[in-house]
Structure 1
Amino acid sequence: MFTDLLQPSLVLGKPVIYLSADILKQHQLKGLILDVDETLVPLKSRQASEELMTWIDETRQVAKIWLVSNNLSESRIGGIAESLNLPYILGARKPSRKCLREAATGMELPVSAIAMVGDRVFTDVLAGNRLKMFTILVEPMVDPATLDRSYPIRRLEVQISQWLGVSLKYQNTARSQPNKS
Structure 2
Amino acid sequence: MALFNPSLLEPDLILGQTILHLTPEILRRNNIKGLILDVDETLVPMRQPHASDDLLQWTTEMKRTADIWLVSNNLSQKRIGRIAEMLDAPYLLGAKKPSRTKLRKAMDAMDLRPQQVAMVGDRLFTDVLAGNRLGLFTILVEPMVDPLKANKKYPIHNAEVWLSKLLGASLDGMKHNFTKSNKKKLS
TM-score bracket for the superposition, by shorter chain length: over 0.9
Counterparts in 2 of 1:1-181, with a 5 A limit? 2-166=5-169, 167=171, 169-176=174-181
CA deviation string 1:102-140 (max 9, x = no partner): 000111111110000000000000000000110000000
Cα distance in 2 for partners of 1:95, 1:31 equals: 19
Cα distance in 2 for partners of 1:170, 1:130 equals: 24
- Give the 3 Å change call, closer, same or farther, for CA 150–172 of structure 1 in structure 2: closer
Cα distance in 1 for partners of 2:175, 2:33 equals: 23
Consecutive unaligned residues of structure 1, counting only runs of 5 or more, are: none
- Identity of matched residues, %: 54
User: What TM-score do the two structures reach when normalised by structure 1?
Assistant: 0.94
Whether contact under 8 Å (1:38, 1:141) holds in the other structure is yes
Consecutive unaligned residues of structure 2, counting only runs of 5 or more, are: 183-187
SS state at 2:179 partner: coil
Cα distance in 2 for partners of 1:81, 1:60 equals: 14
**One-letter amino acid of the counterpart of residue 181, structure 2:** S
CA RMSD of superposed structures (Å): 1.3
Q: Which runs of 4+ in 1 moved over 4 A?
A: none
User: What TM-score do the two structures reach when normalised by structure 2?
Assistant: 0.91
